[in-house]
Amino acid sequence: MARPNVGRSRPASAESGPSESGRLGGATEFLITRITARHQEALPERSARRQRQVQHLHRCGPRCILEALLAVDRGDSLDAVLADFERLPPETYHAVLMLFCDGAAT
């Protein structure tokens, strides 16, 4: 039984199908290549820096991660937030949090 030709502008046996899809793929590939070429130099440096900063933030603990997420949610730049948390070593954050969590500061 033949399938109905619903939603198609041409019969399934049309010969021009592969060349059309080749053109579509070529245009998409061209755009991706062009966009990638524009940002190719900045991307690896930014990604490596962000990865290092996120690892540092993770070592600072869950409260710092929460504060960073809240700052980004308020509209702060992710790069600025990560740079702020990178300024102090994780041990400093742990020491301050232990003062408040253990009740020593109250």
pLDDT digits (tens, 9 = 90+) for 1-46: 555 555 544 554 444 444 444 555 666 676 667 666 666 655 666 7
Give the amino acid at 12: A
- 53 in any annotated domain: yes
pTM exceeds cut of 0.95: no
- 35 in any annotated domain: no
pLDDT band at 78 (very low <50, low <70, confident <90, very high): very high
Pairwise pLDDT comparison (43 vs 64), residue with the higher score? 64
Give the amino acid at 27: A
| Number of domains forming the structure of the chain | 1
Determine the structural domain holding residue 72 and report its residue range: 46-106
Task: Region of 103 please: left (phi>0), alpha (psi -120 to 50) or beta.
Answer: left
Report residue 25: phi and psi, to 5°: -65, -40
In the block, tokens 């408040």 appear at 100
pLDDT band at 63 (very low <50, low <70, confident <90, very high): confident
**CA-to-CA distance for 12 and 3, rounded, in angstroms?**
10
